[in-house]
Amino acid sequence: MRQEVLGIMDATQLVKGVLDLAVLAVVAREDGYGYDVVRRLRAAGLEDVGDASVYGTLRRLYSAGALTSYVVPSDEGPHRKYYGINAQGHAALASQSKTWAAFAGTMAGLLDEAGVKA
Amino acid sequence: MNASTNDTVSTEVRDYVAGVRAALSDLTVEDVEEFTTGMEADLAERLAEQGEGTLRDRLGDPDAYAAELRSAAGLPPRVPVAPARTSAAEQLSTWWTGVSRSVLGQVPWLRDLRPVWWAVRGFALAAAPALVLGVPIIWLGLLGAMVSIALGLMARHGRLSGGWVGPVRVMGNITAVLLLPVALVMVVDAPDPYANDPTWAEPQYSSGAGLTYDGEPVANVYAYDESGRRIDKVRLLDQNGRPLKVSEDALTSADDMGDVDLMRDSRTGELDIARDVFPLRWNGRTGWERMYDREWEPPMAITPLPGPVPSVEASPTPSPSATPQATQTSPGAGATATPTPTPTTSVSR
């Protein structure tokens, strides 16, 4: 998984940087279709995440082989596309979590030195 | 879940997906399918939630949505299309979108005034037919406003579909903005409802009534016979036997002292002046005086006509001492020949 380069330090950019990780985490918990994932992310507190960004991320993770996808036909209306996590996805999730934790720790240290409470 | 069963995916959603699809048209078919499968259902669910505006309001234009989609998916941005594919209408639409988005970005509460804009644009658009038909704008304007509000509501609730909706909306908005000043001018300059009401019409000259010459009214006529002498109290008849008569208007307008008006009969309002006996006289005038504001005065005599002059007997006033020798060669000297006193030469003593 490639690392996103952080740009301007605002919440939106931060989210973009770790969206892969967030999406993997949500899907790992339970399979979901596009908007379902969006809703769960928002419920968890990532309110500013854009719909299209989530869909795009799902697509990219799927293309990279970290997610599976299947279509669920519906009698009532259009089909829904569900995403689920696979072994490679789990591995990516684990590794990226570590990277994130390390990064967060580094940041905390830096901020501490600057005398700023996180 | 959704209340509708047959039309489970509203046309607004389908419209939006079509827009996204169009923005992704440079991708392979599989890629496009990957994105759009399930998109309808997701968008429908999104729309079914918290009701604050259309899909476009919440998610932005399909173009923007597609761009975000691509970028998150790691796909390159859309390859700039060849100019031939962007029609003028599409470019206009893109420009308008950009403008409206930046304006709304800076003044977000304008969004809430959208229904007001619907009414205003409907009214403004009515300026065009009102101008063409030459009718007052007020009724067409109200009708246009109502139609526009209805269309806006229909669009908001997803009842308007088809590729024509977007361009027509943009063209309509732009045209309305351009026509707005015209509509305002028409409202302010509404035609005077009394303009053609005869009750309020100012009295006009009765052109052609009474004696006229070269189109101008004649106020008085002075007659001279072939000798050049004045003819008084003359009546003139035309080829149909009608007496030539001066119109009251001509007479009153020639009189700037108001004397003529004094001659009005208090009961009937008619002028008590014989308007067909020339020269006209009233109020102690002989008729041969100068008309009020004119410099010209009727002369005692005018040039006699060429040719032999008739004998004096033809004169209406008999001369008391007309001598039988009054020859034909003597030029007419105006009035009757006055007897010349025989000069008495007195020899001085």
For residues B298 and B222, give the distance between their C-alpha atoms in angstroms, rounded to a whole number: 7
pLDDT digits (tens, 9 = 90+) for A96-115: 999 999 999 999 999 999 88
What the block records as the tokens of A45 is: 């507190």
| ipTM of predicted assembly, 2 dp | 0.79
On whether any CB of chain B is under 8 Å from the CB of A42, the answer is no
What is the structure's pLDDT at A27? 95
Higher pLDDT, A91 or B295: A91
The rounded Cα B19 to chain-centroid distance in angstroms is 47
Q: Which residues of B touch A78 (CB under 8 A)?
A: 8-9, 38, 40-41, 44
Q: Which residues of A touch B34 (CB under 8 A)?
A: 59, 62
For residues B113 and B106, give the distance between their C-alpha atoms in angstroms, rounded to a whole number: 14
Contact B35 A57 (CB under 8 A): no
Contact B9 A55 (CB under 8 A): no
pLDDT digits (tens, 9 = 90+) for A31-59: 999 999 999 999 998 888 888 999 999 99
Q: Which residues of A touch B56 (CB under 8 A)?
A: none
What is the structure's pLDDT at B101? 76
What is the structure's pLDDT at B338? 47
pLDDT by residue for chain B (349 residues), tens digit each? 444 433 545 788 888 888 888 888 888 888 888 888 888 888 888 887 766 777 777 788 888 898 888 888 888 887 765 555 567 767 777 787 778 777 777 777 777 777 888 888 888 888 888 888 877 778 888 888 888 888 888 777 766 666 677 677 778 888 888 888 888 888 877 656 555 555 555 554 445 578 888 888 898 999 999 999 999 999 999 999 999 998 888 888 887 677 777 777 777 777 788 889 999 988 888 888 888 777 888 899 999 888 876 555 544 554 444 444 444 444 444 444 444 444 454 444 4
Can you tell me whether residue A88 is helix, strand or coil? helix
Contact A81 B38 (CB under 8 A): yes
Could you give the percent of chain A with pLDDT greater than 90?
Answer: 53
Contact A56 B42 (CB under 8 A): no
For residues B282 and B287, give the distance between their C-alpha atoms in angstroms, rounded to a whole number: 7
User: Considering CB atoms only, which of A50, A62, A74 is closest to B68?
Assistant: A50
What is the structure's pLDDT at A2? 41
Can you tell me whether residue A45 is helix, strand or coil? coil
On whether any CB of chain A is under 8 Å from the CB of B68, the answer is yes
On whether any CB of chain B is under 8 Å from the CB of A100, the answer is no
Q: How does A51-89 read in b/e, with b if 16+ C-beta sit within 10 Å?
A: bbbbbbbbbbbbeeebbebeeeeeeebbebbbbebeeeb
On whether any CB of chain B is under 8 Å from the CB of A54, the answer is yes
Q: Which residues of B touch A56 (CB under 8 A)?
A: 68-74
What is the structure's pLDDT at A86? 94
Contact B62, B23 (CB under 8 A): yes
For residues B330 and B327, give the distance between their C-alpha atoms in angstroms, rounded to a whole number: 6
- Name A63's Cβ contacts closer than 8 Å, sequence gap at least 6: B73, B74
Contact A81 B45 (CB under 8 A): no
Mean residue pLDDT of chain A comes to 84
Q: Which residues of B touch A55 (CB under 8 A)?
A: 35, 39, 42, 69, 72-73
Among A55, A73, A35, smallest CA distance to B48 is for: A35
User: Considering CB atoms only, which of A35, A52, A63 is closest to B69?
Assistant: A52
